């Protein structure tokens, strides 16, 4: 019994690590040459001495400076940035605690009820990934909404500049007139420069928090205009028109790839649905997949093939604009 539990635990850890690795690979943004050049201007703020600028204490609560929560937040910088982009109501340590609790609960339920180590590990892995899947969807929706609101924010700042207001006043106007998520990000940028952070560094920090290519264009334009001068209102209008053109092109691509996306959904859903139907009609016919070692290997190979197929289909239909 102890040997079975040990094997189940090792398989669970392996599957969980693999799923998290795939998630991190999907999350990682492989920048193009243009994005790399923009990143050098917008995503690497430096201090006056040429050293990387440290995070301001004003952006962190004082209670986070000590304790186990601060230890986790400083060690899991990527997780903290991920939660910040998703506007998560929970801290890093709470998310990790929920993940571990759901995984242990799924493993316990699988061992006690299903009495199958493979199914117990699969159930534990799926349970542990649930909170991160919810955060990923929440982050994706928030970034999409930010991108949709950005042209309207640029128009608002442009009109404010033509009316004689300063650029910081335009940021304050965006934070008060537009809804979240763009209002909260521009409000944070406005408050940071009010508290003494240079405006260029505040804009760079916002571009780092929000991984949006259009926002990097905006940050680059603002920084260059403050250094060289020029008609900033006209530049903002052109950037807004460019963003709207990209949204229009993206909509056309979504319409043209609709058939491929639907075919991918059908192809990915057909094997598990057919398996569930066969298991419901004749459970004894499907039991060798769980009881026989060869059947378990075939089942794991099928799951791996499904994941690889999903990644390939996603790569085909995901055309970057």
Q: What is the pLDDT of residue 267?
A: 84
Q: What is the pLDDT of residue 212?
A: 85
Q: What is the pLDDT of residue 9?
A: 56
Task: Indicate the pTM of the whole model.
Answer: 0.63
Q: Structure tokens of 209?
A: 């928090």
Q: Which of 210, 245, 280 is the last residue of a domain?
A: 245
Does a structural domain hold residue 267? yes
- Three-class SS of residue 3? helix
Question: Residue 267 sits in which domain range?
Answer: 257-321
Give the total number of structural domains in the chain: 2
Does a structural domain hold residue 62? no
Of all residues in the chain, the percent with pLDDT exceeding 90 is: 3
pLDDT < 70 regions, the chain: 1-77, 114-116, 321
Same-domain status, 168 and 228: yes
Does a structural domain hold residue 124? no
Q: What is the pLDDT of residue 18?
A: 54
pLDDT per residue over 33-88, tens digit each? 555 555 555 544 444 344 444 433 334 444 444 454 455 545 556 777 888 888 88
Same-domain status, 220 and 154: yes
Q: Which of 187, 220, 245 is the last residue of a domain?
A: 245
Q: What is the pLDDT of residue 86?
A: 84
Return d(Cα 167, Cα 161) in angstroms, integer.
Answer: 7
Q: Which of 196, 224, 245 is the last residue of a domain?
A: 245
Does a structural domain hold residue 128? no
Does a structural domain hold residue 201? yes
Q: Structure tokens of 226?
A: 């403050």
Return d(Cα 81, Cα 298) in angstroms, integer.
Answer: 38
Does a structural domain hold residue 21? no
What is the CB-side half-sphere exposure of residue 112 using CA atoms within 13 A? 6
Does a structural domain hold residue 272? yes
Same-domain status, 236 and 194: yes
Q: What is the pLDDT of residue 56?
A: 38
Q: Cβ neighbours of residue 32 under 8 Å, at least 6 residues apart? A: none
Same-domain status, 209 and 295: no
Q: CATH number of the domain at 166, please.
A: 1.20.81
Same-domain status, 231 and 266: no
Q: Cβ neighbours of residue 124 under 8 Å, at least 6 residues apart? A: 12, 16, 103, 104, 106, 107, 110
């Amino acid at each position: 019994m102890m040997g079975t539990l040990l094997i189940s635990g090792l398989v669970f850890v392996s599957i969980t690590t693999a799923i998290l690795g795939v998630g991190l690979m999907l999350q990682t943004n492989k920048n193009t040459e243009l994005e790399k050049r923009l990143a050098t201007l917008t995503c690497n703020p430096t201090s006056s001495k040429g050293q990387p600028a440290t995070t301001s204490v004003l952006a962190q609560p004082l209670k986070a400076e000590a304790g186990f929560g601060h230890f986790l937040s400083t060690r899991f910088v990527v997780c903290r940035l991920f939660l910040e982009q998703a506007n998560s109501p929970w801290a890093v340590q709470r998310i990790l605690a929920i993940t571990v609790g759901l995984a242990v609960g799924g493993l316990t339920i699988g061992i006690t009820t299903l009495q199958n180590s493979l199914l117990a590990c699969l159930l534990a892995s799926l349970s542990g990934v649930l909170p991160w899947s919810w955060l990923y969807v929440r982050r994706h929706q928030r970034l999409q909404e930010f991108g949709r609101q950005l042209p309207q924010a640029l128009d608002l700042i442009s009109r404010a500049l033509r009316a004689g207001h300063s650029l910081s006043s335009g940021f304050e106007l965006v934070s008060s007139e537009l809804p979240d998520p763009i209002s909260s990000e521009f409000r944070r940028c406005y408050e940071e420069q009010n508290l003494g952070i240079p405006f260029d560094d505040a804009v760079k920090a916002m571009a780092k928090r929000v991984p949006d290519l259009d926002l990097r264009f905006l940050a680059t334009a603002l920084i260059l205009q403050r250094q060289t001068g020029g008609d900033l209102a006209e530049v903002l209008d052109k950037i807004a028109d460019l963003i709207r053109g990209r949204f229009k092109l993206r909509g056309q691509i979504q319409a043209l790839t609709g058939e491929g996306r639907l075919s991918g959904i059908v192809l990915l859903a057909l094997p598990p649905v057919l398996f569930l139907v066969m298991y419901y009609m004749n459970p004894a016919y499907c039991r060798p997949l769980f009881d026989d070692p060869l059947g378990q290997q075939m089942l794991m190979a099928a799951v791996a093939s499904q994941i690889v197929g999903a990644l390939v289909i996603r790569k085909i239909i995901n055309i970057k604009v």
